[in-house]
A and B are shown apart, each in its own frame.
Chain A
Amino acid sequence: MEKKLFRLKHYLYGLALLLIVLPRVALAQDEAAASPGFLGSIEAGVQGIVDVLNLIFYFKVGGENGMPFIVLWLVIGAVFFTFRLKFINIRAFKHAIDVVRGKYDSEDDEGDVSHFQALAAALSGTVGIGNIAGVAIAIRLGGPGAAFWMTMAGFLGMSSKFAECTLGQKYRVIKPDGTVGGGPMYYLARGLSAMGMAPVGKTLAVIFAVMCAIGSLGIGNMFQANQAFAAVSNVVPFLTGLSWLFGLVLAAIVGLVILGGIERIGAVAGVLVPVMAVIYALACFWVMLMKLPQVPSAIGTIITTAFSPEAVAGGAIGALVIGFQRAAFSNEAGLGSAAIAHSAAKTDEPIREGIVALLEPFIDTMFICNLTAIVIVLTGVYADPTAADLNGAQLSAASFETVISWFPYVIAVAGFLFALSTMISWSYYGQQAWAFLFGDGTTNIYKGIFLFCVFVGSVVNLGPVLDFSDIMALAMSLPNLLGCFLMSGLVARELTSYMTRLRSGEMLPEPQVAREPVLRR
């Protein structure tokens, strides 16, 4: 009872914060202006922050038509780890599936959850509305060819994901209460300190934690809220002018979960998200089946436009940049966030959890994002001049609508749930980063900021939200990948040792060991 009251008290704090801004928002709505007023000033504020961040992270390498520095950094990271670890993304794929199926689970190992549970927890953060809306944004900005580069980025990103989650598992800490603390904050600080670079490690860890705490407000919050509103208002037209109401309701639901401790909502979203993902994938296959004769040419379009310089404003480089950016945004490879969830897995082999983690970009980007891309290209809505103002979730919805008339409703529900579960997961990542900086006792301040941003994301236009989310998310890769580069030798050595032991039969799948106790003696 006392516990409930305690949680309720903090929930009310959060709600109070929102109520303070409500009257002013309502006022702005009364003035009925599209941009001026309170909502307009929020938007101008976000835009101002974006302009400064652009200068720091987005300067172009190689002249006017070159690559933004931060995207180049991600590409280098993904390519480097793929070659350094000798195509781990291909050679460990089958083993990854064996591990997820529980063949190597052991109750005696330290940790909180099984390999499968850790992967599912991490996926609820990665499979967000980006899988529906992000792909549409990529195609809108970079042409169909961007989808090819997204797939490529997903494929290469499997290797950087492997590296960061292995490190997350290796340098996690088991707290006195038995729960696990892990993620880039820990492996940067502890891992680099073990290599005699303690000051560098500590600095990178703090930079990462700052980027992650702020970044979680973009990629895992405002972007999700923004596109959830786009998907829902698309089918509920009277909501169009009431973005502030949607924002308040969404913030209240997220608040109930993260402040009010009403974990049921989180659990429900956790169950519904995989169901929605399956329904979504089936619908994609249905659209492909309906337009089967055109499928080869759609795939052809995606591949050819990936290399044709006239595809978009930025040429082939433009499509590549947009593809990599949207892919990293969707599967988080190189950002380091997923390592926080993966470090909870019960295992004494860090490499094993890294191998599980490489399935994440595969499922998220190479599978789900690709399905969305093929549907969008197949239906041709993106190229229809009358639909030129559609972007994000609305473009995806319009594409499905040409084949399944009621599908925008499914997109609205699926998008809302994807966004909700992703927001809850990212509030956890952000909170861990915050706790690393300021201690466990003050996380309610972070939660308050987070809820306020849910509201901001719902009322602001896509442009500034996307820019802010992109920059802050990609900026996380700066300290994270730098640390991973420095520790890549260690990862490679551990991987070789693991693979040798796996091949020699020293590490038998657990049930087999149990069946033949003689082997153990």
Chain B
Amino acid sequence: MSWLKRKSVLIPIDFSELSYQALIPAQELAEDSSCLKLIHVLAPLHPADPAAMWDTVSDEDRKQKVQDFTRDKLKEMGYDDIPIEVVIGDPTSKIVDYAQEKDVDLIVMLSHGRKGMSRFLIGSVAEQVVRLSHCPVLILK
């Protein structure tokens, strides 16, 4: 069934314990592990965050820290090293834009399933990605 396998799979990750679960099906659906790519979207620092106020932490520092963190975490969990793209901004639009730009074949992500009011008002990032993505999206529940 290797003709069904994807050449490029994007896995949005937010570093919650659950979000790593997307790695397993993503590996199964990809041709090999070199076809996998992680993406993490950081929120911009609030201007009154002490780190922003005193300009002690740059966007580059933050991205680098996430890269290092991911490498260590994947190793600890027994996965091969998977490259990660770290961007800053609104999660949905950044994920969708990146997938389009890199012509990704499939996005695999976990829906956290917001509860109550929050779900009603906002919906989840996963829901929005499904709506806006150019490629198939696999949502794990």
Chain A interfacial positions (CB closer than 8 Å to B) = 3, 6-7, 10, 112-113, 117-118, 120-121, 124-125, 176-180, 257-258, 261, 263, 266-267, 270, 341, 344-345, 424-425, 427-428, 431-432, 435, 437-445
Question: Mask for B77-91, Cβ within 8 A of A = 1, else 0?
Answer: 000000000101111
Give which listed residue, B40, B48, B93, contacts A428 with CB less than 8 A: B48
Q: How far apart sit A459 and B44, CA to CA, in the bound complex (Å)?
A: 31
Contacts of B18 in A (CB 8 A): none
The answer to whether A112 and B51 have CB atoms under 8 Å apart is yes
Q: Is B139 interfacial (CB-CB < 8 Å)? A: no
Q: How far apart sit A257 and B52, CA to CA, in the bound complex (Å)?
A: 12
Q: Is B118 interfacial (CB-CB < 8 Å)? A: yes
Which residue of B is nearest A346, CB measured?
A: B56
Contacts of A177 in B (CB 8 A): 42, 62-63, 65-66, 69, 86
The answer to whether B47 and A112 have CB atoms under 8 Å apart is no
Q: Min CB distance, A183 to chain B, in Å?
A: 12
The number of residue pairs between A and B whose CB atoms lie closer than 8 Å in the complex comes to: 103
Contacts of A425 in B (CB 8 A): 48
The answer to whether A428 and B46 have CB atoms under 8 Å apart is yes
Q: How far apart sit A441 and B63, CA to CA, in the bound complex (Å)?
A: 18
Which residue of B is nearest A270, CB measured?
A: B53
Q: Enumerate B51-82 residues with CB–CB distance to A below 8 Å.
A: 51-54, 56-57, 61-63, 65-66, 69-70
The answer to whether B62 and A179 have CB atoms under 8 Å apart is yes
The answer to whether A178 and B91 have CB atoms under 8 Å apart is no
Q: How far apart sit A118 and B56, CA to CA, in the bound complex (Å)?
A: 11
The answer to whether A438 and B118 have CB atoms under 8 Å apart is yes
The answer to whether B50 and A121 have CB atoms under 8 Å apart is yes
Contact (A113, B65) CB under 8 Å given A179-B51, A438-B122: no
Which residue of B is nearest A112, CB measured?
A: B51
Q: Min CB distance, A107 to chain B, in Å?
A: 11
Which residue of A is nearest B53, CB measured?
A: A121
Q: A117-B56, A441-B122 are in contact. List 4 more A-B contacts (CB 8 A).
A: A112-B49, A117-B50, A176-B66, A442-B118
Could you tell me how many residues of chain B have their Cβ less than 8 Å away from some Cβ of chain A? 36
Q: Is B4 interfacial (CB-CB < 8 Å)? A: no
The answer to whether B56 and A113 have CB atoms under 8 Å apart is yes
Q: Min CB distance, B87 to chain A, in Å?
A: 9
Contacts of A432 in B (CB 8 A): 46
The answer to whether A3 and B125 have CB atoms under 8 Å apart is no
Some 18 contacts from A to B, beta carbons below 8 A apart, are A3-B88, A112-B56, A113-B53, A117-B53, A121-B53, A176-B40, A176-B66, A177-B62, A261-B44, A266-B53, A424-B48, A425-B48, A428-B49, A435-B43, A438-B114, A441-B43, A441-B122, A441-B125
Contacts of B56 in A (CB 8 A): 112-113, 117
Q: Min CB distance, A98 to chain B, in Å?
A: 21
The answer to whether B50 and A112 have CB atoms under 8 Å apart is yes
The answer to whether B47 and A341 have CB atoms under 8 Å apart is no
Interface centre among B46, B62, B70, B88, by most chain A C-beta atoms within 10 angstroms, is B46
Contacts of B121 in A (CB 8 A): 445
- In order of increasing CB-CB distance, the 7 nearest A-B pairs are A428-B48, A112-B51, A178-B65, A121-B50, A177-B62, A344-B50, A176-B69
Q: How far apart sit A10 and B65, CA to CA, in the bound complex (Å)?
A: 27
Contact (A257, B50) CB under 8 Å given A176-B65, A178-B65: no
Q: How far apart sit A437 and B117, CA to CA, in the bound complex (Å)?
A: 11
The answer to whether A176 and B49 have CB atoms under 8 Å apart is no
Contacts of B91 in A (CB 8 A): 440-441
